[in-house]
Amino acid sequence: MSPLRLGVMGCAGIARRRMLPAMAADDGIELVAVASRDGRTAAETARPYGCRAVTGYAELLGLAEVEAVYVPLPAALHAEWVTAALAAGKHVLAEKPLTTAADRTRRLVESAERRGLVLMENVMFVHHPQHEAVRQLVADGAIGELRSFQAAFTIPALPADDIRHRPELGGGALWDVGVYPLRAALHFLGDGLRVVGATLETVADRQVETGGAALLRTPEGVTAQLEFGMEHAYRSSYELVGGTGRISVERAFTPPAEHRPVLRLTRSAGTEEIELPAADQVARTLAAFTAAVRSGAGPAAGDCLAQAGLLDAVRRSAAR
């Protein structure tokens, strides 16, 4: 099959650091163009990849040779530009969260389905095989009946001018780092989760929440305790606790491509460390997107919609 002809809508840090190098290295992708509101930024970003620089996102969507677009814009701009991309007949890979409201997320998913286009939210960690290995251990009864799940994703303080401190752009810890532990809970516990309680915290000089926690529960009584923050020491981990043991994973959400994951399985006889092969979750995410476009079968939208609903529910619970 011919490579997927891809355009990049915006020059955010994640695009420059992780996604553009991975796209350039993928034989299944032809990087056609990079767009920015600032022509010089577009040119500087596009130059190392030998692709076209475009001034303005609408101009990118007007390029007939672009089949699909990657959208790394601030969260509050996703709804507008994903809508425009779908209307232009482009498949879309959009950074998480897809939008900052569950109803808008649902409308985008429905729009893509009506048009027969692939719309994929860029939650990369779910494509790393270490999590499937964990699910298999649980399914095999390695820790007995599952009782609880804990997950945390916290990062050190960001620069004062970082866009994640701006509420009008969809900033705040919940939508930036809170997505990770929440999506992990969905990944392991299913979409029957409901929010029991939540809190969002803000330090004095910020306009958005800088951290928070949430307690979720499945219909069967399995609890999920989630922590997230962006004024904290770095943590990226989760643990599943069962009746006879527990499994813990470090560097769970953003491991480097060369990282060899270690699953720690603790039972009454002691702790066993299970080392897994390294895997590049960025490359695997791009491969999954390309395969979905080429097969005509987009990714299931259930987890994306369930995640959007839970994010809304966490915010409502914290407001109460």
**pLDDT at position 160, please?**
87
pLDDT tens sequence for the chain (320 residues): 799 999 999 999 999 999 999 999 999 999 999 999 999 999 999 999 999 999 999 999 999 999 999 999 999 999 999 999 999 999 999 999 999 999 999 999 999 999 999 999 999 999 999 999 999 999 999 999 999 999 999 999 999 889 999 999 999 999 999 999 999 999 999 989 999 999 999 887 889 999 999 999 999 999 999 999 999 999 999 999 999 999 999 999 999 999 999 999 999 999 999 999 999 999 999 999 999 999 987 777 899 999 999 999 999 999 98
Residues contacting 47, CB < 8 A, separation 6+: 53
pTM: 0.95
- The pLDDT tens digits for 85-144 are 999 999 999 999 999 999 999 999 999 999 999 999 999 999 999 999 999 999 999 999
**Nearest in space to 310 (alpha carbons), one of 180, 208, 124:** 180
Containing 44, the helix (H) or strand (E) segment is helix 39-46
> Long-range contact list for 113-118, CB < 8 A, 24+ apart?
113/298, 113/301, 115/86, 115/89, 116/296, 117/86, 117/89, 117/90, 117/91, 117/92, 117/298, 118/68, 118/91, 118/92, 118/289, 118/292, 118/293, 118/298, 118/299
Backbone angles phi, psi at 190, to 5 degrees: 90, 175
- Please say whether the beta carbons of 31 and 6 come within 8 A: yes
β-partners of residue 8 are: 34, 70
Q: How large is the angle between the packed helices 129-139 and 179-189, nearest 10 degrees? A: 40
CA distances from 186 to 96, 194, 300 (A): 15, 10, 14
3-state secondary structure of 225: strand
Same fold yes or no, 4-122 and 129-279: no
Q: What topology is assigned to 4-122 in CATH?
A: Rossmann fold (3.40.50)
**Tokens 């532990």 belong to residue:** 181
Q: What topology is assigned to 129-279 in CATH?
A: Dihydrodipicolinate Reductase; domain 2 (3.30.360)
Burial pattern 258-292, b for ≥16 Cβ within 10 A else e, equals ebebebebbeeeeeeeeebeebbbbbbbbbbbbeb
**pLDDT at position 297, please?**
76
**pLDDT at position 296, please?**
81
> Long-range contact list for 105-110, CB < 8 A, 24+ apart?
105/304, 105/305, 105/308, 106/305, 106/308, 108/79, 108/82, 108/83, 109/301, 109/304, 109/305
**pLDDT at position 208, please?**
94
Domain edges within the chain: 4-122, 129-279
Residues contacting 258, CB < 8 A, separation 6+: 278
CA quadruple 232, 153, 75, 18: dihedral sign? positive
**Nearest in space to 100 (alpha carbons), one of 181, 12, 168, 170:** 170
CA distances from 280 to 26, 103, 254, 256 (A): 12, 33, 10, 7
Residues labelled catalytic: 96
CA torsion, ordered 96, 101, 102, 103, to nearest 10 deg: -130
